[in-house]
């Protein structure tokens, strides 16, 4: 390069600085590339949306509270936060010894858990369900609310979300497992938003489920 007559005029084609393009370092501010399928842009990093719903929960004394739950048909039983049991004064149906197996753990633990019964009612209609669940001290991590474009898509289909983005401060306080999952989820067909993301019909509204991080939908 010392004898090159164009050394003072040659520039990198990427950053325009005075070096060869082959030694140009990558730009750290480069955005995540997207893959596009039928107007749905999906970044490489993905997030799986759990099946969540919002509903009123009522104990035997009539005390009612708006609460958020996870629907998990893979769990053999339903669970509810122990603090909520005491707060709403739920009736204890029984005390049972449970073997608790944690995902990705080879160990299990035994514990006596209270089994309580309570009523769930829809925020949007008169649907209700009677649920029996075991107490739990587990805490569920928060998750992002439904993206605005997906909310618009659902509304364009005249559907009501079971867990709308409003009141996103609500903690997840109970889990409806396989023992009551099909008491809540209805037999209507799911509506596919994309290949890996659907809305599931339930007594309490349509439930979002699937891979959805930064999923964007463009309406024609």
Summarize pLDDT for 117-173 with one digit per residue, the tens: 999 999 988 999 999 999 998 777 767 777 777 788 888 888 899 988 776 678 899
> What pLDDT does 180 receive?
96
Q: What is d(CA 194, CA 89) in angstroms, rounded to the nearest whole number?
A: 43
Would you state the structure tokens that stand for residue 176, as one six-digit string? Answer: 């409806």
Of 52, 57, 115, nearest in space to 82 by CA: 115
In the predicted structure, residue 64 carries a pLDDT above the cut 70: yes
Question: Residue 105 and residue 119: Cα distance in Å, rounded?
Answer: 33
> Given this model, what pLDDT does residue 43 score?
47
**pLDDT tier at 95, thresholds 50, 70, 90:** very high
Collect all residues with Cβ–Cβ distance below 8 Å to 162 and sequence separation of at least 6. Answer: 52, 53, 54, 55, 202, 204, 205, 206, 207
Give the mean pLDDT of 92-121.
86
Q: How far apart are the first and last CA of the chain?
A: 54
Higher-confidence position of 64 and 41: 64
pLDDT at 35: 37
Two structure tokens written together for 130: 């009677």
More confident residue, 46 or 85: 85
Closest by alpha carbon to 206, among 189, 181, 219? 189
CA distances from 28 to 35, 58, 136 (A): 20, 52, 44
pLDDT at 86: 93
Give the confidence band of 3 by pLDDT, cuts at 50, 70, 90.
low
Q: Which two tokens stand for residue 62?
A: 């009539």
Position 132 scores a pLDDT of: 95
Closest CA to 115 of 86, 141, 93: 93
Rounded CA separation 195/177 (Å) = 25
Residues 6+ away with beta carbon under 8 Å from 117 = 90, 91, 93, 130, 131, 132
Rounded to whole angstroms, the Cα distance separating 130 from 76 reads: 17
pLDDT band at 187 (very low <50, low <70, confident <90, very high): confident
């Amino acid at each position: 390069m010392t004898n090159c007559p164009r050394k003072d005029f040659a520039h990198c084609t990427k950053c325009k600085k005075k070096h060869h393009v082959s030694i140009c370092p990558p730009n750290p501010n480069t955005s995540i590339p997207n893959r596009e399928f039928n107007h749905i842009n999906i970044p490489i990093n993905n997030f799986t949306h759990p099946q969540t719903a919002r509903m009123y929960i009522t104990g035997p004394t009539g005390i009612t509270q708006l609460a958020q739950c996870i629907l998990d048909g893979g769990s053999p039983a339903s669970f509810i936060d122990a603090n909520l049991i005491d707060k709403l004064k739920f009736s204890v149906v029984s005390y049972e010894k449970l073997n608790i197996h944690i995902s990705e753990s080879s160990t299990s633990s035994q514990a006596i858990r209270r089994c309580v019964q309570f009523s769930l009612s829809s925020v949007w209609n008169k649907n209700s369900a009677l649920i029996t669940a075991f107490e739990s001290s587990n805490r569920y991590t928060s998750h992002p609310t439904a993206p605005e474009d997906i909310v618009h898509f659902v509304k364009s289909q005249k559907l009501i979300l079971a867990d709308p983005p409003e009141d996103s401060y609500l903690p997840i306080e109970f889990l409806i497992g396989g023992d009551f999952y099909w008491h809540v989820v209805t037999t209507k067909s799911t509506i596919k938003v994309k290949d890996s993301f659907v809305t599931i019909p339930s007594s309490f509204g349509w439930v979002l489920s699937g891979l959805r991080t930064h999923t964007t939908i463009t309406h024609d």
